[in-house]
A and B are shown apart, each in its own frame.
Chain A
């Protein structure tokens, strides 16, 4: 129990101390033009860095095969997303194809 409180306290503290301080000081921060230019690239860079290993890595090795349901689901999501440009549809089709493929392969 004590351990759990310490764990939650620690995780909360480090997370909040990432999210809040820059906002708190935002009226005193002047961002250089180059940094503002760089910020445009933040969302796609971070999201891709999270997505790609989750899709391609299984048990510490590369899984490049049509029997990888994550890969098939990701390709489906990407294709429908580029085609239809609809976020909800992208998520539903990606998830659906992933579950379908997983049940077929397994």
Chain B
């Protein structure tokens, strides 16, 4: 291991962490509100910290709280978690070409830490043209920044959140929406992408009646298919 490659690794790692800062700003209110609502939903202090530490999936943690509070059976909560997190399967497929050369020692933690935010930041780095062999260090830096922040925000919510009056009604979970809008905008550069977003959004609204949040996958797949079809038909008119 040479000095130069060490410094290149460090550089990628910190660049990944730095690139994640805006998404961390969006995750902080979301983590705090999770910690704040956890105990009133019937989760213990250790249970809430543990959930952030080993499940580490914000949206599904939030939905689990709602289901717990409503007295849903354990099996339903686990099944809903699975459906809500299924989108990560699409992220994992997208990462396949970029991580295939790595050892399991790398793939296992990168898999555990794979979130929406981590994926959005990492895939942009992987798709850049330069041939850096250390792009996975960039993903690691982003993942660790996101993970530490999630633990810290949960803790703040669990401790200080109790003293905020009626914190649940503030709508701090809107921070996730603002963050996701910010992550979507860079993609809106051509007609197939715009078509994807329009169809995905409309289908998500039309399929709300589906049980267990299944509309999420249905809408995402409808949007993806629309993008491909639009791209292909645009190609044909140009040929």
Contacts and interface: CB of A to CB of B under 8 A. Distances in A.
B81 A15 contact: yes
Q: How large is the interface on A (under 10, 10 to 19, 20 to 34, 35 or more residues)?
A: 35 or more
Interface in A10-42: 10-12, 14-16, 18-24, 26-27, 29, 31, 34-42
Contacts of A99: 170-171
B99 A15 contact: no
B10 interface: no
Contact of B177 (A15, A22, A94): A94
B81 A49 contact: no
A39 B94 contact: yes
What is the interface of chain A mostly: helix, strand, loop, or mixed?
A: helix
A104 interface: no
Contact of B175 (A26, A34, A95): A95
Q: How large is the interface on B (under 10, 10 to 19, 20 to 34, 35 or more residues)?
A: 35 or more
A45 B227 contact: yes
Nearest to B68: A7
Contacts of B184: 43-44, 47-48, 51
A10 B78 contact: yes
Nearest to B217: A49
B116 A24 contact: no
Interface string A67-106: 0011001100110011001011011101100110010000
24 contacts: A10-B81, A18-B89, A19-B85, A21-B92, A24-B108, A26-B97, A35-B93, A39-B93, A40-B227, A41-B193, A42-B90, A43-B187, A44-B184, A44-B188, A45-B219, A46-B200, A47-B116, A48-B197, A49-B223, A53-B208, A62-B205, A73-B177, A82-B185, A91-B182
Given A16-B111, A27-B101, A94-B181, 18 more contacts: A8-B51, A22-B96, A23-B107, A26-B97, A41-B228, A43-B184, A46-B90, A47-B180, A48-B219, A49-B200, A52-B200, A52-B201, A77-B177, A77-B181, A77-B182, A87-B23, A90-B178, A90-B182
